[in-house]
Amino acid sequence: MDRPRLPAPARMTRRSVLGLGAAAASGLLLPGCSRGRADEPAPSEAGIFTTGNQDGVYNLFGTALSALVSEVTGMELKPVVSDGSVDNLIKVASRKADLGFCTSDSALAAYEGTGEFSTGPLRFSALARVYDNYVHVVVPMASKAKSLDDLFPSKDNPTRKMVVGVGPKDSGTEIVANLILDKARADVIGKNPTLDPATVDVVRKNLSLGQMVAAVQPKPNAAKGSLDAFIWSGGVPTDPIAKLQKTIGFRLLDIGGVAEAIALKEFGGFMVSAIPPSQYGLASSVPTLAIPNYLIAKPNLSDSWAWWTVNTLFRRQNDLIPKHPEAGALDPRSAIATMPVPLHPAAERWYRQNHI
């Protein structure tokens, strides 16, 4: 693993020594590392990485990456919990955080000033496209819902009102959850002309991942939880969801048709994909919507932070994989595909130096 090159003793200052840190001066026999040093200087001050919901993949992945970057550079990169994509974009663009994760559709809306960001475009750069989020529509195993349609009123049950968790307010999960529910609602209305369109909907609840997982489980002496279903956009496996399989059990609804309609209509990197059965002990793969994730940087992030973060992301990939399997999806050849968000100049330089 490359380390910042120590300057000659005669040129050392207190600031440069503190910036390089103990890790840069220590032995280089670390897992997955080469014995070389890099000419790129270490960051001169600490940084903040805004990640995502507690125990979500953004948070687990970001915490692991922050620890490795801090180890390599000798300068702390502090991970902080957030409400996800929209929250991260606002914090990064306003320089309240140095780095963050977001989905490609939220990044596009923020960069162009549309949707949730219609008050004006935000400015930020990208370091990499990292891995893809998969939309989970989770229902308890005991639920009678077999499809998205079953969450809405029907001809046989016109007064049905299912309660669905849609993620934290103003999060990337909420944005995609509303896209999915709005499309499903329109489909139900189209199939059932006798229903009053004003009554066709679900009750949408803004909750964190942890709150949704808790709310879908029944309390003692209750037949069911306060949520009938919840929607989550994240990497696979998302650990709090996986743990449900050991308690109440769950199924993921097939949203392939809705996913295809959204992917064809909405620009922002949406793709039709599937969650493999092995990820959650499912009977078969489940068609769903996939959304790329970007690692983004604040305006004027130092070249040192940008270069060392990208370098660590790929040079220490084998050390990231045990922290979360999504690290195995990292590929520098696809990492440069962050359009329309421009790559940070130092990140672009890293890719060119490594012949990407």
Q: pLDDT-based confidence at 209, cuts 50/70/90?
A: very high
Tell me: pLDDT of 27 over 80. no
Cα-based angle 171, 101, 297 (whole degrees, multiple of 5): 120
Q: Nearest to residue 135, comparing CAs of 286, 330, 326, 239?
A: 286
Q: Are 116 and 109 in contact (CB under 8 A)?
A: yes
Confidence of residue 24 (pLDDT cuts 50, 70, 90): very low
39-69 burial code (b ≥16 CB/10 A, e <16): ebbbbeeebbbbbbbebbbbbbbbbbbbbbb
Q: d(Cα 57, Cα 270) in Å, to the nearest integer? A: 19
Rounded Cα distance between 15 and 10, Å, is 14
- What does the DSSP 8-state code read for residue 353? H
Is the pLDDT at 8 greater than 60, yes or no? no
The distance of Cα 338 from the centroid of its chain, to the nearest Å, equals: 14
pLDDT, tens only, 118-175: 999 999 999 999 999 999 999 999 999 999 999 999 999 999 999 999 999 988 899 9
Residues composing the chain = 356
* Three-state helix/strand/coil letters over 195-232: CCHHHCCCEEECCCHHHHHHHCCCCCCCCCCCCCEEEE
- Is 225 within 8 Å of 218 (Cβ atoms)? yes
For range 77-105, the mean pLDDT: 96
Q: What integer best gives the mean pLDDT of the chain?
A: 89
Q: Could you identify the residue written with the tokens 């979360």?
A: 324
Beta bridge partner(s), residue 49:
79, 99
Q: Kindly tell me if the per-residue pLDDT of 92 is higher than 80.
A: yes
Token pair 């609602």 is found at 185
Q: What is the pLDDT of residue 37?
A: 63
Q: What is the pLDDT of residues 339-353, one digit of tens each?
A: 889 999 999 999 999
pLDDT in tens, 235-279: 999 999 999 999 999 999 999 999 999 999 876 689 999 999 999
Instruction: Give residue 56's pLDDT.
Output: 87
Give the rounded percent of residues in the chain with a pLDDT score beyond 70. 90
Report residue 197's pLDDT band, with 50, 70 and 90 as the boundaries. Answer: very high
Q: For residue 167, give every residue at least 6 positions away whose Cβ sits within 8 Å of its Cβ, in sequence order, or none.
A: 84, 173, 174, 177, 206, 207, 208, 209, 212, 231, 232, 233
Q: Determine the Cα–Cα distance for residues 307 and 289; give it in Å rounded to an integer.
A: 32
CA 267 to CA 116: how far, in whole Å? 15
Contact 124, 340 (CB under 8 A): no
For 276-330, write each residue's pLDDT tens digit: 999 999 999 999 999 999 999 999 999 999 999 999 999 999 999 998 888 898 9
Give residues with Cβ within 8 angstroms of 45, minimum separation 6: 19, 75
- The residue behind tokens 């604040």 is 298
Q: Which one has a higher pLDDT value, 115 or 12?
A: 115
Query: CA-CA distance, 42 to 187, in Å (whole number)?
Result: 54
